[in-house]
Amino acid sequence: MQAVLLIDFGSTYTKVTIVDLESENIVGTARAGTTIETNIMDGMNSALAQIPEPGGGWNFIRKLACSSAAGGLKMIASGLVKELTAEAARRAALGAGARVLEVFSYELTQKDLDRIIVSKPDILLLAGGTDGGNREVILKNAEMLSTLPVGLPVVIAGNKAVSDQAADILRKRHTPVVIADNVMPELGVLSVESARLAIREVYLTHIIQAKGLDKAEEFLERIMMPTPSAVLSAAELLAQGYGSEPGMGELIIVDVGGATTDVHSIAKGDPSKPSVMLKGLPEPYVKRTVEGDLGMRYSSEALVETAGKPLMDNLGWTNDQVLDQLSLYKEDPWRIPQTAEEAKFDVAMGLMAVGLAVDRHVGRIEVVYTPFGASYVQNGKDLTPLAVVIGTGGVLLHHSDPLEILRGAVFNPQEPTILKPQDPSFYLDKEYILAAMGLLREVSPQVALRIMKKYMVKL
């Protein structure tokens, strides 16, 4: 056996996956509570102990990990215009697997600085201006940031004409200060790859240590990346294939969690019908969105509020019944539904979370009436022809009827302007291996791909 140990240090659970590279099988998976306060290895060891050891003991040829423990990778991004470089910076941070705490636009104010001090991000991403475009705002923002009382890692990805100057200003206070390519080199051109790599580099060299995760590196080779990056990487591999091994084609992965619902799409999203004009920022082929108000437990109150009347209609419950249920989840976020009624509540909530999260992820089509007839304008990705929707995350995996919840991702004829998949097949990441396979991709992409194809369960 050629055993590889893959670990995901999550915010709540540490998940362990052991893979045999030879037989291309999952040898075992297990989880235990994450122990960041004491020693992060305690949780990992108790998870590992749950998997029966072979005769000669484990002999791992590789040991890799990703982490979203200790708050994950928390970032604050800043750009110039909200819809342009600030949005591009936000997407770069999300694509790097970060939790984006705030996105600021235009000139930073003292109030913005106070927010930065309070929310303690791990990395700041500073953008603004196209290459050769606006230079004043990013320089002023660098000046403002250099007055912060604490030093933070900063990635600069703005107007290249003043990047060095901005870095010099920031280095008076902050370290490291890394310069990446502009997230928007030309107007309407999104270029997030260089910023993403810079963020990952800073994460590996500085953040892991700052979070006390380096203790794990004595046993492991290294913590490779934040968990969301691992999931994105696995998603990309699964969609595209590797070498002669075909992938599953363009797909969406929906991760319904207790605090957020994350949607990943690996798809171009070009218009599926002729003569549609594209508007707005171009969409990244690998796109991740995180909805902080659409969680099933920690943010269940926010979800009820956001979902509003459709949820109540679907459930047929009174307001008090809903409030009672919410208080149960408040007491115990890990509560598993006890009765049929409670399960019904979970399905209705899950359906809403998936529906709204995918709504926000996909694009819109709009009819514009001109004196020469109707024209169609598309903003965002058209995912109507998309064939594969994959569900993952604790809530779906422990649910008796994940398909019912995942149906929220499907196109609704009553809302024809929202470009969700019309007739997809549904799969479940039953063994919860996507993050682990993102890690395995670093060792053997082919095996990671084959294992994913083998272990995704068609619903």
Partner 1 sequence: MEQKTVVLGVIGSDVHAVGNRILDYAFTQAGFKVINIGVLATQEEFIHSAIETNAEALLVSSLYGHGEMDCRGLREKCQETGIGKIIMYVGGNLVVGKQDFESVKERFLAMGFDRVYPPGTLPDTPIEDLRKDLGMTID
- Chain contacts with partner 1 (rule: CB under 8 A): 80-81, 83-85, 128-130, 132-135, 184, 187-188, 277, 279, 368-372, 375, 377
Give the shortest CB-80-to-partner 1 separation in angstroms. Answer: 6
Nearer to partner 1, 101 or 162 (CB): 162
Residue with tokens 């970060």: 98
Give the shortest CB-368-to-partner 1 separation in angstroms. Answer: 5
Nearer to partner 1, 117 or 187 (CB): 187
Nearer to partner 1, 117 or 367 (CB): 367
Give the shortest CB-371-to-partner 1 separation in angstroms. Answer: 5
Give the shortest CB-114-to-partner 1 separation in angstroms. Answer: 23
Nearer to partner 1, 316 or 373 (CB): 373
Give the shortest CB-106-to-partner 1 separation in angstroms. Answer: 9
CA dihedral 192→229→260→423, nearest 10 degrees, is 80
Nearer to partner 1, 134 or 306 (CB): 134
Give the shortest CB-179-to-partner 1 separation in angstroms. Answer: 19
Give the shortest CB-186-to-partner 1 separation in angstroms. Answer: 8
Nearer to partner 1, 336 or 367 (CB): 367
Give the shortest CB-75-to-partner 1 separation in angstroms. Answer: 21
Nearer to partner 1, 130 or 261 (CB): 130
Nearer to partner 1, 127 or 256 (CB): 127
Nearer to partner 1, 53 or 83 (CB): 83
Give the shortest CB-178-to-partner 1 separation in angstroms. Answer: 22
Secondary structure of the chain in HEC code, one letter for each residue: CCEEEEEEECCCEEEEEEEECCCCEEEEEEEEECCCCCCHHHHHHHHHCCCCCCCCCCCEEEEEEEECCCCCCEEEEECCCHHHHHHHHHHHHHHCCCEEEEEECCCCCHHHHHHHHHHCCCEEEECCCCCCCCCHHHHHHHHHHCCCCCCCCEEECCCHHHHHHHHHHHHCCCCCEEECCCCCCCCCCCCCHHHHHHHHHHHHHHHHHHCCHHHHHHCCCEEEEEHHHHHHHHHHHHHHCECCECCCCCEEEEEECCCCEEEEEECCCCCCCCCEEEECCCCCCEEEEEECCCCCCCCHHHHHHHHCHHHHHHHCCCHHHHHHHHHHHHHCCCCCCCCHHHHHHHHHHHHHHHHHHHHHHCCEEEEEEECCEEEEEEECCCCCCCCEEEEECHHHHCCCCHHHHHHHHCCCCCCCCECCCCCCEEEECCCCCHHHHHHHCCCCHHHHHHHHHHHCEEC
